[in-house]
């Protein structure tokens, strides 16, 4: 297709081709993206969750293809609970919701980075992140050391 119509994004899509906030991603694009992911044991992959504003790593959870699909198409993050064997959306019971800002896969396609707006605590313990106050004793490396 040539001419203006070919260069015009679909309604609700910015000129760069990314979906506008609140506009569902194209279903075929979502399915193609999921097909490219490499799910591991039990058909799951890890999702690292990062605060979009501060850059803080909030938590790590697991997703299967359906959880990824729901996350990419709803604007809220959905996970697979390995212990309960069911889907869950952060905040449905606690009120500490996560709203999707972006989702990216790593270079191998076997891990996701989900950037979110986090309302309230990310950790089930009530901590802002799952990593607050849980430092392990480690030798600090120096880049100039041999």
Feature table: binding site for Zn(2+): 107, 123, 130
Of 123, 47, 64, 139, the closest CA to residue 91 belongs to 123
Which residues fall in the annotated binding site for Mg(2+)?
A: 106, 108, 110
Q: Which two tokens stand for residue 35?
A: 């097909």
Separation between Cα atoms, residue 8 and residue 67, nearest integer Å: 31
112 and 68 Cβ atoms separated by less than 8 Å = yes
Q: What angle do CA 53, 112, 110 make, to 5 degrees?
A: 160
Binding residues: 106-108, 110, 123, 130
């Amino acid at each position: 297709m040539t001419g203006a119509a070919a260069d015009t994004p679909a309604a609700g899509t910015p000129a760069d081709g990314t979906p506008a906030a609140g506009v569902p991603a194209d279903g075929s694009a979502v399915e193609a993206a999921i097909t490219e992911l490499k799910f591991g044991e039990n058909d799951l992959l890890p999702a690292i969750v990062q605060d979009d504003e501060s850059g803080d790593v909030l938590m790590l959870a697991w997703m299967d293809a359906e959880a990824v699909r729901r996350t990419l198409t709803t604007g809220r993050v959905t996970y697979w609970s390995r212990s309960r064997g069911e889907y869950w959306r952060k905040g449905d019971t606690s009120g500490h919701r996560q709203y999707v800002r972006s989702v990216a896969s790593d270079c191998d396609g076997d891990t996701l980075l989900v950037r979110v707006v986090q309302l309230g605590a990310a950790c089930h313990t009530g901590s802002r992140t799952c990593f607050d106050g849980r430092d392990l004793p480690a030798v600090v490396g120096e880049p100039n050391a041999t």
